[in-house]
Amino acid sequence: MSELQRSLLDRLLQKAISRKLLVFLTATGLMTFSTLDSETWGLIAVVYIGGQSVVDMMKAYRHGE
């Protein structure tokens, strides 16, 4: 996959669905169709969503958004 295709796909994903939702859906799919247990699913969700929220808050604080 070329860099142009990746950036286009990334922009499409940003517009179509949030990354938090994408992580949620990926973890849920792994739990459903793989050996991922519910405890690990919860850990993935809490760590990613919580971490991303902190990053978003810091961006808003630094850039005044």
From CA 32, how far away is CA 55, in angstroms rounded?
29
pLDDT tens column, 1-59? 666 666 777 776 666 567 777 778 888 888 888 888 888 888 887 887 777 777 778 77
The size of the chain, in residues, is: 65
Name the maximum alpha-carbon separation found in the chain: 43
pTM (2 d.p.): 0.49
